[in-house]
Amino acid sequence: MPKTIIRHWTALLLMMLAMVVTCGPATARDRVLIDTGWRFAKGEPAGSDAGLDYDVRPEVTQSADGKVADARPDAAVAVDARNARILKPWILPSANALIRDPARRHVRPTGDPGSDHPYVQAGYDDSQWQSVTLPHDWAITGPFLETGPYGGMGRLPSWGIGWYRRVLDIPASDRGKSIFLDIDGAMSYSTVWLNGRLVGGWPYGYNSYRLDLTPFVRFGEANQLAIRLDNPPESARWYPGGGLYRNVWLTKTDPVHVAHWGAVVTTPEVSAERATVKLDVTIDNDGAGLADAEVATTLYALDGQGRRTGKPVASIARAPVRVAADGQATASGSAVIEKPRLWGPPPTQVPNRYVAVTRVMQGGRVVDEVETRFGIRTIRFDPDRGIIVNGEHIRFQGVNNHHDLGALGAAFNTRAAERQLELLRDMGVNAVRMSHNPPAPELLELTDRMGFLVIDEVFDSWERKKTPLDFHLIFPDWHEPDLRAMLRRDRNHPSIVLWSVGNEVGEQYTGEEGAAIGRKLVQIVREEDLTRPTTSAMNFAKADMPLPGVVDVLNINYQGHGIRTLPSQYPAFRARFPDKAILHSESASALSSRGEYLFPVPGAISASVRPGAGGDPVTQQVSAYELFASDFGSSADRVWALDDQHPWNAGEFVWTGFDYLGEPTPYYGARSSYSGILDLAGFPKDRYWLYLSRWKPDLKFAHILPHWSWPGREGQVTPVHVFSSADEAELFVNGKSQGRLKRAPFAYRFRWDFVTYEPGEIRVETWKDGKTWASATRRTTGEPARLSAEADRTRIAGDGKDLSFITVRVLDKDGQVAPRAMTPLRVTVTGPGELVATDNGDPTSFVPFQSAERRAFNGMALAIVRARPGARGTITVRVEGDGVQPASVGIVTGNARQ
């Protein structure tokens, strides 16, 4: 063979070997989503006395349902767990990796409780169980409870025992690897068995956790996985959902690998010219002998969709690390990125991101590889201005959101969450508070990509209880591992700017005793992350009490502006803590039902909902004039008037962005809340345009309310309000002026409170700085004549997860929305897709979300559609209604989302 050919093949072989060393085998780390192939059953076998409770729970003698949302939490009830058959001693060791002091870690008792239970046996016939795909919420299918308690939890049966089973095929070639089960969220008190042996579990339903399956795996065989959940009643103040409602993963690694959440990126020096990126990588050695390894990292820029772009922008030199048997060690290094692209919130900044690709090598072989996404940015809280991001003052225009996705329930869906964020962004929202628990990890990926600022919150209660069986039962044992789990999982997300260790906890009332608990939690945060400040939302603690002094940033709920907290507590907090930023972490809590206008309308700027004054206890609807609030809250108008008088306030997080399941203040006979700026279906209430006028003041628009179709109100006073950022407005009724108004100081709407209704047209003209700004018109509509159907996206992925949201409107013959229409509708789906759910935003509707039949609510309804997995083609969605022309829309499904 000629020497040139030999040299050619030799060079090629060397290049291929170099690629293996550099890139590593594809199997260095396998992280497999196990969302299919599950069987589910509710309850225990007939006649079973399973004895599988985590702990002894207090007896519930009185339901907390309907309890005032800001009621004072109570002391825990003592229980005697001696001689009880409980799993707690076997579950507690699951937390050991997240307990800092080795002396406080737990020793697993001998034995495997539950090993004789039929549902954990490989031979058990589960063919009659329900076949489910994760994420799965067992409660969202209902039926709704029309009587009895649990309106606070959404009138959906989320409580009870649920079992999930799945076979894991782990080949013999995986022998010698470490095998982990990673659960992003399980509601709640989860316990896991593999091959009949108890592996471990996790009580808190909102946290992600890892279990080591390796000692229980039968390599080369089918492995029977069984997961039991025990979701208590009276365990939440809102709808918690039930089940494996987030993703579950099987992770396989070499014994020497990056620890769970073991890569930590910080950026200690940032400027427009250069940024120092520091990376600490914790390495686990699950082997029986001392291990020597090397850690190397390459940094890449990401595009707007999170994909790597171009060549590496920097690298961190290889660092040797020696890890003891069954031990850990950390390798640290840093690199400089020239002219870094900073992460920041739109519209003035761009949420640029990078990824650190870390490889662990032994003997020239890559044994592990992980990717860590991060952003480069600076944040600082200033007591006079609030948050400063990359040197720019950003005022929080935020909302609170609970974790349910409306008609989809608690089962997380990335597209549904993305749609919510898109709707909020269009309104001017730049921040989200995770109320009141760690979110799905995919939600933080979205906030990173879209540029939202985030308050990540861990607990709604500490040792004192809000409902009889809430988190307070496990707080003493689990507060440290649960808090560390959230911090370690989430600390690389650039969108997170504050860590909140609690929400309206009962320890506000217990003076120094409560503050001591707060100090302990804050210390844990500082041990895990020194780059962000701490907070805890307070609705009772006053400036002279101990708890506010514990945290770095003061998060105040309603005390600045709530009806029960007059006068405002802001000046007192400002005087007592002049060096701390003050943030309105729950503002407003205004209430309304979309499209429901009740008369008479008070002249006040804010009022509590009462019968005949904002609320109708018969229909259980709340007026959409957007003047009414919960007893502890207030309208947006009142919040802003006080905010503008305290300009050092860092901004607000409105309660809430969307209506949510449960906590239906003021009518606990309903299914969902009234506090959203958007309703449960994602349709904007009138309040949406009020916030738009505040948060996007350069947007030229005028929004009129109410509608102008009032048969029977002829000659009666029907106030007209207009939301706009203009400073002057004139209203016309059928061409007759009702007066030209100038915006008064600390006023945020134009209102003509003595307009007499007459059918026809109302029109508003507005001006700003003396120049024409915007106009708007409403006309009296005719009878419902036809339907329209509009999809938010007409092309979706054929993966069985991507969704299209179809808005259905009831129109008159002229194409105007019939604002009072309650037309019965029927949805049919043909082609390679299926109907997932319907809704209409009516908080009082008990029609199952999965029903294809639903009335319009004030002229609108929603249908949610997905493609069948692997399907391609056109999905046709047809909507029919009584006495109206039908409508249809086509959705193309394939491999890509648009």
* Alpha carbons 383 and 650: distance in angstroms, whole number: 8
Q: Which of 418, 480, 504, 596 is catalytic?
A: 504
Q: Which of 253, 251, 257, 326 is nearest to 295 (CA)?
A: 257
* Alpha carbons 501 and 490: distance in angstroms, whole number: 14
Strands (DSSP E) found in 12-105:
29-33, 38-42
* Alpha carbons 667 and 591: distance in angstroms, whole number: 11
DSSP 105-147: --PPPSS-TTTT-GGG-TT---TTSEEE-SS--TTTT-----S
Longest Cα pair distance anywhere in the chain, in angstroms?
104
* Alpha carbons 576 and 607: distance in angstroms, whole number: 30
What is the DSSP secondary structure assignment for residue 78, as one 8-state letter?
Answer: P
Q: Which of 860, 762, 776 is nearest to 818 (CA)?
A: 860
* Alpha carbons 12 and 246: distance in angstroms, whole number: 45
Number of residues that this document lists for the chain: 898
* Residue 428 contacts residue 394 (beta carbons within 8 Å): no
* Residue 595 contacts residue 819 (beta carbons within 8 Å): yes
DSSP 205-255: TTS-EEEE-GGG--TTEEEEEEEEEEE-TT--SS----BS-S-EEEEEE-S
- CA distance readout (Å), 328 to 101, 259, 266, 291, 293: 15, 8, 20, 10, 12
Tokens describing residue 769: 């700085």
DSSP 485-554: HHHHHHTT-TTEEEEEEEES-GGGGSHHHHHHHHHHHHHHHHHH-SSS-EEEEESS--TTSSGGGTSSSE
What is the DSSP secondary structure assignment for residue 783, as one 8-state letter?
Answer: S
| 43 Rama class: left (phi>0) / alpha (psi -120 to 50) / beta | left
Active site residue 504: yes
* Alpha carbons 156 and 403: distance in angstroms, whole number: 15
Backbone angles phi, psi at 104, to 5 degrees: -95, 0
* Alpha carbons 104 and 96: distance in angstroms, whole number: 8
Neighbouring CB atoms inside 10 A of 843's CB total 25
What is the DSSP secondary structure assignment for residue 61, as one 8-state letter?
Answer: -
| 519 Rama class: left (phi>0) / alpha (psi -120 to 50) / beta | alpha
SS3 562: coil
Q: Which of 90, 96, 93 is nearest to 114 (CA)?
A: 90
DSSP 644-701: TTSTTS-EEEEE-SB--BS--TT-TTSSB-S--SB-TTSPBPHHHHHHHHHH-TTS--
* Alpha carbons 718 and 94: distance in angstroms, whole number: 62
* Alpha carbons 872 and 866: distance in angstroms, whole number: 12
Give residues with Cβ within 8 angstroms of 553, minimum separation 6: 381, 498, 533, 534, 535, 580, 581, 582, 583, 650
* Helix H or strand E encompassing 280: strand 274-285
- The identity of residue 793, as a single letter, is R
Q: Which of 457, 586, 758, 765 is catalytic?
A: 586
* Residue 583 contacts residue 556 (beta carbons within 8 Å): yes
* Helix H or strand E encompassing 283: strand 274-285
Q: Which positions are annotated as active-site residues?
A: 504, 586
